Structure 1
């Protein structure tokens, strides 16, 4: 009986201690999008991206303008075509048509290259900013003793320290294999 009483008291003590530890886990939240957008680096990157985008857009618009000039030339030749000059005009229209097809191909190529260049530049400019912000989040969370920091802008958890991983328990409850999912 005495051993049973000691066991119950010991079990209660362990339970209370674990609840006290769990109760002390601090949870915070942040808005990463707001943080990133408030940095000077982000503002500078946005200005660079705007300039690059405008430059590429102007280049494409210039090409489209030249294409439209060819189209207007072709339309004018069609309007002025007569039986007397039909063969000569048709030959000119054929040449203009070939030129326009080549221009379409070049425009599409330039558009695709511009999108790729903008995507690469965006990654180049924004990745260091995101890394800097993540480092700051981790540093502040550790300094202030937070176990979890939730990102309200994306619904993610950019920082966690400790806590119980219930993944295997939930998979068991669902009757799903407890093995980790294969990475793609």
Structure 2
């Protein structure tokens, strides 16, 4: 009889723990943010975007200058090829070969410069954007803790096909970062 009572007490305790866990889970607060909107509304992001645009334009001009020189060499080669005849081929062929090699070298330099420019832009973007992302993530964590959130979803990047309810923390995080809640996000630069 005593073991039956203990068994019954144990079963009641397990049921109580189960229901209290379910009740606690039901009380967990869920929120969402738009991380991309917050980042693009920061003044740091706008500054970084300007720096990246300037760097991109500089690299584009450098490469365009190289392309212009390449086009001039190609035109020179085409013009020399038009004047080639049986009489001047011994003189002109070595010049055309040299010009062909110069054109090939220029094409290689342009390709290398394009790749290097892309890598520099990516490195600069990482250098500028990573601290902003960390700053915003810290603000999201702080606001989430202040509001007692159990889960906060990023609706800008997470595949959440439907959500209803939950607390939108975007404005609170913007406020924590000193961004006006009505501040329009920056328009992403076209790449």
TM bucket, shorter chain: 0.7 to 0.9
Aligned to 2:46, which of 21, 43, 46? 43
| Unmatched 5+ stretches in structure 1 | 157-184
Correspondence 1:72-87 to 2 at 5 A: 72-87=75-90
Equivalent position of 1:129 in the other structure: 132
Give the whole-Å Cα distance in 1 for the aligned partners of 2:11 and 2:111: 77
Q: Counterpart of 1:84 in 2: which secondary structure?
A: coil
Aligned counterparts of 1:5 and 1:89: Cα–Cα separation in 2:
106
Alpha carbon RMSD of aligned pairs, Å? Answer: 2.1
1:61 and 2:64 are equivalent in the alignment? yes
Matched, 1:29 2:28: no
1:127 match: secondary structure: helix
> What runs of 5+ residues in structure 2 fail to find an aligned partner?
160-191
Q: What SS does the corresponding residue of 1:28 show, helix, strand or coil? A: strand
Task: State which of 89, 111, 132 in structure 1 corresponds to 2:114.
Answer: 111
Q: Distance in 1 between matches of 2:90 and 2:112?
A: 33
Q: Deviations over 1:105-148 (max 9, x none)?
A: 21122112111111110110000000001101100000000000
Distance in 2 (alpha carbons) for counterparts of 1:83 and 1:7 = 108
Structure with the bigger RCO (C-alpha within 8 Å, sep 6+) is: 2
Distance 1:15 1:115 in 2: 56
